[in-house]
Each structure stands twice: as C-alpha cells, then as structure tokens.
Chain A
Amino acid sequence: MAGKIDQNQLDYLKVRAGMGRISRREFIGRMGALGVSAAMAGTFYAQAVHAAGPVKGGTMRMGVSGGESTNSLDPALAASPVPYNVLNQFGETLVNVDETGGLEMRLAESVEASADAKTWMFKIRSGVEFHNGKPLTAEDVMRTMERHSNEDSKSGALGIMRGITSMKVEGDMFIVGLDTANADLPFLLGDYHLMIQPDGGFDNPAAGIGTGPYMVEADEPGVRHLFKRNPNYWDSNLAHVDEVEILAINDTTARMGALQSGQVHIVNRVDPKVAALLDRAPGLSVKSVAGPGHYVFIMHCDTEPFLNNDLRLALKYAIDREDMVDKILRGYGSVGNDMPVNAAYPLFDESIEQRAYDPEKAAEHYAKSGHDGSPIILRVSDVAFPGAVEAAQLFEQTAKAAGIPLELKREPGDGYWSEVWNVQPFSASYWGGRPVQDQMYSTAYLSTADWNDTRFKRDDFDALLLQARGELDEEKRKALYSQMGTMIRDEGGLICPMFNDFVEGVSDKVQGWVADPTGELMSGTASHRCWLTA
C-alpha cells in the first residue's frame, strides 16, 4: 500500500501544513485521497506542523474552571486555578520545575549552594524589564521574598519561607541563608506565589506588574482576563500568540460546550465521566497526564479510635483502590499506596509493595484492634474532591464486607475547609501535590507542620526528614525517602486510594502541547509554549 502513495504529493501537503496554509481537516481529507488512513494522516499533520516550528500570532482562549469574582491579582492571595493561570501569564519566578522534574532557570540565571547546603546564591538575570519599564534587580527579588515571609505576610507561600533565616543582596546576587541544610531550596522558590514584583509589590500588591511574557490588558475577576504579548520579553523561545484570554467558566457542561463550539482552545478539568465521549468529538482531543495530586481519607493518629494502628491498618486494607480508579476516575488516574508520593516525584522508590484490598486481613486487624463495634464516622462532602461522596460510599461497602462499621456523614461544602478538614478526626480531602518529596512531607507530615492533617507526630520520622533534606547524595536520599514513605504507609493516618491525572481538553488548532505532570495546563505555561494553527 505504502508504495502506491505519491510521495511528492505527500511531501507537498506536509510542507503546506507546516506553513499553516491548510487546516487539519483539509490535510486529512487530501491525505485520504492519497490512500493514507485518517489516524496516520493526523500523526503526519502533527509532525509536519511541529517540525515547521511555532507559528506567531493569534489569540489563545482558555476556559478555566475555578475563578471567582473575589479573585485578586495579588500573587500572595492566589489559591484557585484561574488566579494560578493568570499569575503565570504576567509573572515569573526565579526558577521553574520543568516537565521532567528538573530545575529550569527563569529570572535566576544560575543557582549555587554552599557545601553544607545552608547558603544559596541566585544570580539574577540581567537585561530583564518589568512591564512598567523598570529593570529587574536583585533588590526586587529580595523585597518580593520579604513580602511573602515578613510578620504581616498573608501569603500562601508563608509556610515554605519558614526555614529562611537571612536574605541579602550582593550586586546581582540574591543570597539566602537557612537554619538547616536544604538541598531542595531552589524548588521551593519556584512556588507560583513567589512571582517577582517591582519592589516586591509593597506599593500595590495587586498591580499585575511582573516580568512575564504577557501583560495584563483587562482584569475582570470571575469573568475574564485578557493579556497582550510583552514586546520586551527576554526569552524569544516562548510566547508565540499575540493575546491570551482566560475565561472563568466554572460550570463543567458550559466549559465543554465552549470547547466543542470552538469558542475556547483549551479547557482544564474535564470530568472523567465525559472524557471518553469528549475525545470522540471532532476537532479536539483529551490530554491526560499523571500528576502528584491525590485524593485522601485522613485519620487523626492522636484521636480515638484512630490511636490504634491496627484499626488504621484495618481501614487501609478495607478500601478497594483499583475499583475506585475505575469508577471514580474512569481510569484517568492510578492507585495510591497510602503515602503521599508517587512516581511523579523525583527519587521515588517504586519497589515499595503495593497495598491491595484484602477484607480478610482488614477483619483480622479490626479484631486485633479491639474496637467496640460502634460506627466509625467518616465525614465527606462534594467539595472534598470530585466524586468524594461516591468514593466514600464505595469505601463504606468494601469496609462492610470486612465487618467494619463505617458510617458516612455528609457535610455542607460551604465551610468544609474550616469546619471539617483538619478539625474532625476522619474526613475526605485532597492534596494538589508538591514538586519534591521533601516539600510534600514537610508540609503535611512533619510533627510541627500546620497542615499535619493526619496528626502524624513522630520524632524518628522528623529526624529522617531533616537528614534527607541535607543529604546531597541522591542514592542515599532516595533510600531515606523510601524509608519515610514506608513508615507513613504502615503507621500513618493517611488512606490514599488514588492519584488523579490532570485531564484537559485541547483543540486541534493548538500545537506544541507537552505532558507536564507538575501542574495543571502544562503547569500554567500552556499559553507560553503552545501556538495556534489554522
């Protein structure tokens, strides 16, 4: 068959496609006329367009769930997906975590650590300008870090700034001193709240002035955010489209409708229930990538009846993880292993045994725990994670099969995060994941962590964490992390049935998409790295 295809015609069409002169539909149609299957033609088209390099121009529209009229442009206050994506348009951090989990230099040109990993030196990129024309200096970087870490800070990044004891500027160097060694510090400073602002944003934190590839053109919180390309942007490899428009579309059906009718090019958070159907619609595809985010049921290790490790183990054996990935995530995810990390993290030990549903073992541990048989209350709400109530119902059934009297209590979504999560001893929740294992463990499993939502307080675990943090030898660090993961798996208060994928819908007009497990919508950089074709 292949011999019959006119190679000249084929090459001609590829060149045309590469130049953006013919649409995907036309390309596939004409390829079909040459005897090439539609699937093959689609691949050819993508290759041709990719090989030709990015096309400049156009307006990229994104329909993003998770935007409210109450959103602000202040990076310190960002907590939901729309502000996250908005910040990534106009702002930039010192470093980024790239799709392979490595460090990518942004406003820092290079990073160096002292031998004890207690002092870190960031060389600040020269020749970068803020949108207001002011050149970027190391002083701006230091002021930004100050605003997120000083006494009056209300920043979402306050927690990760805690280990910093001193900050100073020497010429174009920004120097950070730590109280204990931390080999992962640069990863922490890549947090999306830490967008560098002129003078740290002290004058007007919500001014929307940064060094990023796009400048704020219109800011209507909860409705839309419009950006124009920054003509003085320093990195010529990025930012191909002229304008980026982020529309806040919180209703799932409306978001899918907007993608299907071509009003937006990219949507986030495709409901797993409709993902397979949506993927069959013409002119778009559904992309999914395994990320570090996970859905959890959390028990307080310091509260009855969860004080008893046998009871905790009984509950861990009484949950059917495979079934939940099938029914709740419809396959767009992977099973969890009762620890907060998975293969999306660097230095993850894949040899730790996977825990499976085992009603007999669960019953055995339950009998050993000596529990009085009174109902064990699990608090749950729709906002805990998508499908949380259904997941809890599955859990209730599988636990019942093991003779464990689990009882669900539905809580209102409004106020769930202040009244139930981290307050009640057993509840459903989610974690968005962190770029490195150290940050995940320090955020939620260190004895003194504010968000220690399982009340896991163990001196030996804390000691391992600090040891791993200062360990520059990767093999040894990996062994330490493996030990910590096993400890939480076997003795912690975390029941982690599943890790959820990022599931996103992308129009065929968008080129240059890469799977990036570190965050939603290519970690907020889809609009910088993708381009539009006809």
Chain B
Amino acid sequence: MHPILILVSQRIALGLLLLFAASVLIFAGTMILPGDVAQSILGQSATPEALANLRAELGLNEPPVTRYFNWLFGAMQGDLGVALTNGQDIADALGRRLGNTLFLAFWAAVIAVPLAIFLGLLAVRYRNRWPDKLISGVTLASISIPEFLIGYLLVYFVAVKLGWFSSVAMINDSMSLGDKLSAIALPVAVLVLVVLAHMMRMTRAAILNVMQSAYIETAELKGLSGFNVIFRHAFPNAISPIVNVVMLNLAYLVVGVVVVEVVFVYPGMGQFLVDHVSKRDVPVVQACGLVFAAVYIGLNMVADIVAILSNPRLRHPK
C-alpha cells in the first residue's frame, strides 16, 4: 500500500478515537453544570409536580452512565435522537444550522484566504516599506478590535445610517442566492477582518524565512522580477506553514463565530449550541460537540496531508 494511504487511514482511526474521547468529555462537562433540563425548560415558574413529570418523561431518572451509552449506541447507528427540550429531530435541526454555518464560513473563506495570501506576498515584495507597514498596521488593528465591536460599528454605519445592507443576517430557504449574499454581507465582512491578519502575517513570515535561501539569490541573479521570485520560487516552499494556519482559521470560521452570529442574528451552529447548553439538552450538545470536533480533526488532517504532498522529501520517502 502507498505510504500516504497508510498515513491517512492511521489518521482517520486516531480521529475517531479522539471523537469518542471528546464525547465523553462533553457528557461529563454537562453533568457537572448546576441545574437540570427540566428546571431549565420550565423556568422560574415550574411547579414541583410539573418538574417531576417532565424528568420522568425525558428519562432523566436513569443513571448518567446508562444515558451516555444509550446515546452512544444510537449515535453509532446514525440515530442522533430527538432534542429533550422540544422533541425536534436532532439530525434535521442540526443539519440546517450546520448548512448555514458552512455557508457563512465558505463565503468568508473565499474572500479572506486569497486576500490574505495576496497581501502577504505583497508585504514581502515591499518589505519594510510603506505598503508592508500599511498592510500590517490595518490587519493588526482589525484583529485587535473585538469582533462584536466591529460588528456594531458596521451595523450602525452601513445598515442604520447608509442603509446599504441588512443588519439582521437571517437567511432561510425561500431566499434567492443573491438575497442570501446580501443578507450575510456584514457578518462576512467582520469575519474577513478578524481572520485576515493571522493568515497574512504567517504568509509573510514563512516566505521571508525562505527568502534567505541560496536558490532565491540564484533566481534573482538570473533576472526574474521580484514578484515572480516570491510567487514561483519562495511560495511553494513556504506552503506547509501557510496551509496550517489557513486550516486553523477555517476551523475558527466554523466553530468559533458565536459572537458574530449573535450580533447579526445569524441562525448558525454557535447560537444553537449555546441555547442547548443553557437548557442542558445533552443529546444536542453531544451532537454539536461531535460536529465541531470532527471539523477540527478533519481540517488538521487536511493540513498535514497537504504539507506532506507539498514536500518531495516526504512524498518519496526512502
């Protein structure tokens, strides 16, 4: 078997083990939290009988270990079950929210990744001159401002004062792609500003590292233009750290944007998870946790594989 296939299958097996460990941790975490599902659903105005009836119906009187294994066997057969709180099918509700999250992450990534790499290359080309300083200054400023503040500023100026885009980024199936894109314009702008700096700085640093090598000097000596040297000769050799940081930011776009979702009322996974954590709806929290963990593990695996493929020494081991 090809060594890369062996590596990938090893990684997948390890990933599954990690997912299992994550699910145990999530379950234990929700058990430690004070309060329980029944009280959280019925709120301050619940009578003791109503609480007892609801607990019995939700199966909360079973020991936690039994509940965990019941859930695990269901999940292994592809049945995520129904939400304790409102009886909705978890796979169905989660699927819709995950779709929205991926939609937002996709458009943010489509803009942010090429832009960050391009700006990184540009910064190297004009290093320590004004374009480099301007790019670094602006991107570092945008990553330093809390994302909710950028969000509120955009809402105030672009949505309320200018009226260009909507302040509520609520999308649903009956909207056309154009409507959806217009609705998510502001959250996409915020996310791009937030992830840009990290990727751009890493691109700049990785390429500058390679720029010290002898072959770059050779390329310059044979008369190639500055940008060509960077793009054709330096960039391919710096790709591995860049892909790593790009994947890290993509994972962030999927799992870490709850604040942006709240500010723009976007129906994504983050708010969905927070709502269910605060109601102690363990099956849903488990399912969300698994999806998030899988996204992280999957993207990291992609980063590793790209790093290997981009390096001939790793591609053809002796």
Interface set of A (CB-CB < 8 Å, partner B): 63, 68-72, 74, 77, 79-80, 151-156, 158-159, 206, 218, 220-224, 247-251, 253-254, 257-258, 260-264, 412, 414-415, 417-419, 421, 429, 450-451
Contact = CB atoms under 8 A, between A and B. Distances in A.
B267 A257 contact: no
Contact of B155 (A253, A417, A421): A253
A158 B160 contact: no
Nearest to B41: A77
B168 A222 contact: no
A414 B34 contact: yes
Nearest to B45: A156
A218 B36 CA distance: 29
B44 A417 contact: yes
B49 A153 contact: yes
Contact of B86 (A71, A80, A158, A421): A71
A418 B55 CA distance: 14
B265 A247 contact: yes
Nearest to B46: A156
B227 interface: no
Interface residues of B, number: 52
B39 A417 contact: yes
Given A70-B276, A451-B45, A156 B50 contact: yes
A299 B45 CA distance: 18
Nearest to A263: B168
A264 B168 CA distance: 9
Nearest to A222: B275
Contacts of B85: 70-72
A418 B41 CA distance: 11
16 contacts: A68-B275, A68-B279, A70-B281, A72-B87, A153-B49, A154-B51, A154-B54, A220-B172, A247-B168, A247-B265, A253-B263, A257-B159, A261-B159, A263-B166, A418-B34, A421-B44
Interface in B23-80: 33-36, 38-51, 53-54, 57
Contact of A80 (B43, B48, B54): B43
Contact of A69 (B51, B168, B264, B272): B272
A251 B263 contact: yes
Contacts of B106: none
Given A68-B275, A221-B86, A257-B156, A450 B47 contact: yes
A314 B47 CA distance: 32
Contacts, number: 144
B44 A154 contact: no
A249 B281 contact: no
- 3 smallest beta-carbon distances between A and B, as pairs: A415-B34, A72-B86, A70-B85
Contacts of B136: none
A72 B271 CA distance: 17
Given A257-B160, A260-B160, A251 B275 contact: no
Contact of B172 (A156, A218, A419, A450): A218
B262 interface: yes
A263 B159 CA distance: 10
A158 B50 contact: yes
Interface string B146-177: 00000010011001100100111010100000
B160 A261 contact: yes
Given A70-B279, A251-B262, A253-B263, A258 B167 contact: yes
A79 B42 contact: yes
A153 B35 contact: no
A421 B34 CA distance: 13
Contact of A70 (B83, B97, B262, B265): B83
Contacts of B310: none
B93 interface: yes
A414 B45 contact: no
Contacts of A250: 262
Contacts of B168: 63, 247, 249, 254, 257-258, 263-264
Given A247-B170, A253-B152, A152 B42 contact: no
Contacts of B152: 253, 257
Given A69-B276, A153-B50, 16 more contacts: A63-B168, A69-B271, A70-B279, A79-B44, A80-B43, A154-B50, A159-B47, A221-B88, A247-B265, A253-B152, A253-B155, A258-B167, A261-B155, A262-B163, A415-B33, A415-B34
B278 interface: yes
Nearest to A193: B45
Contact of B39 (A68, A249, A418): A418
Nearest to A150: B53
Nearest to A449: B47
B235 to A, nearest CB: 41
Contact of B49 (A158, A221, A261, A418): A158
A155 B166 CA distance: 39
Given A80-B43, A158-B47, A263-B168, A69 B278 contact: no
A295 B208 CA distance: 61
B272 A222 contact: yes
A423 B160 CA distance: 45
Given A70-B275, A80-B43, A158-B47, A254 B262 contact: yes
A451 B159 CA distance: 45
Contacts of B44: 79, 417, 421, 429, 451
Nearest to B173: A218
Contacts of B167: 254, 257-258, 261, 263
Given A253-B152, A254-B262, A69 B42 contact: no
A80 B38 CA distance: 15
Contacts of A206: 86-87
A429 B152 CA distance: 30
Given A79-B42, A261-B163, A70 B33 contact: no
Contact of B170 (A74, A224, A450): A224
Most B CB contacts (10 A, CB to CB) among A80, A222, A248, A263 go to A222
Nearest to B38: A154
B51 to A, nearest CB: 8
B182 to A, nearest CB: 12
A169 B202 CA distance: 76
Nearest to A419: B34
A154 B57 contact: yes
Interface string B214-239: 00000000000000000000000000
Contacts of B172: 218, 220, 223-224
Contacts of A421: 44
B153 to A, nearest CB: 11
Contacts of B49: 153, 158
A249 B85 CA distance: 20
A191 B109 CA distance: 49
Contact of A77 (B42, B96, B278): B42
A448 to B, nearest CB: 12
A253 B276 CA distance: 23
Given A70-B86, A419-B35, A152 B57 contact: yes
Interface in B78-113: 83, 85-88, 93, 96-97
Interface in B180-230: none
B264 A254 contact: yes
A206 to B, nearest CB: 6
Contacts of A254: 155, 167-168, 262-265
Contacts of B57: 152, 154
